[in-house]
């Protein structure tokens, strides 16, 4: 019975990842932003004004990304190779909405075009904030 429950929870997780996946164009742009995103996460973690819940989520994201074990194995087509990006997008979307656009921009070290891609990834517009 426990194995069935675990399988159902895992399938729900995969479905949620699939529903929150970024577009192919946005995914490609985001992969090029990885160094800037790493610097952004590091800066947010170092900032005393970043809420503790956001810091916990970002540390959890870093642990997930560094872990050799994926929740969705890479042999699943499309979703297997994008699970890290999807999980990152969901966590960054949640964290970005708590920090706000002004807070993100204050810590952004990349290009203005890269920041525009980040805003698209977060599902927000430059007028939010």
Decide: 13 and 79 in contact? Cβ < 8 Å: no
What CA–CA distance (Å, rounded) separates 70 from 80? Answer: 8
Residue 101: exposure state from Cβ atoms within 10 A (0-12, 13-18, ≥19): buried
Task: Output phi, psi for 60, to 5 deg.
Answer: -60, -40
Do the domain assignments include residue 106? yes
Q: Give the per-residue pLDDT at 127.
A: 46
Do the domain assignments include residue 128? no
Q: What is the mean pLDDT of each run of 10 residues along the chain (129 residues)?
A: 77 71 59 78 93 95 79 67 73 89 91 85 62
Count of domains forming the chain:
1
Which tokens in the block code for residue 56? 């916990």
Do the domain assignments include residue 10? yes
Do the domain assignments include residue 39? yes
> What helix, strand, coil percent values describe the chain, rounded to 5?
75, 0, 25
Do the domain assignments include residue 37? yes
Of 113, 105, 99, the closest CA to residue 30 belongs to: 113
Do the domain assignments include residue 129? no
Which tokens in the block code for residue 86? 């999807």
Do the domain assignments include residue 127? no
Do the domain assignments include residue 114? yes
Range of the domain at 39: 2-122
What CA–CA distance (Å, rounded) separates 59 from 3? Answer: 29
């Amino acid at each position: 019975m426990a194995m069935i429950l675990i399988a159902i929870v895992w399938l729900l997780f995969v479905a949620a990842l699939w529903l929150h996946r970024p577009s192919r164009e946005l995914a490609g742009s985001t992969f090029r932003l990885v160094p800037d995103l790493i610097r952004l996460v590091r800066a947010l973690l170092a900032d005393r004004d970043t809420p503790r819940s956001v810091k916990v989520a970002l540390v959890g994201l870093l642990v997930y990304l560094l872990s050799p074990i994926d929740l969705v194995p890479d042999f699943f087509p499309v979703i297997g190779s994008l699970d890290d990006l999807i999980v990152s997008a969901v966590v960054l979307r949640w964290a970005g909405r708590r920090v706000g656009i002004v807070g993100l921009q204050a810590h952004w070290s990349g290009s203005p075009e890269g920041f525009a891609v980040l805003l698209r990834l977060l599902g927000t517009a430059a007028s939010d904030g």
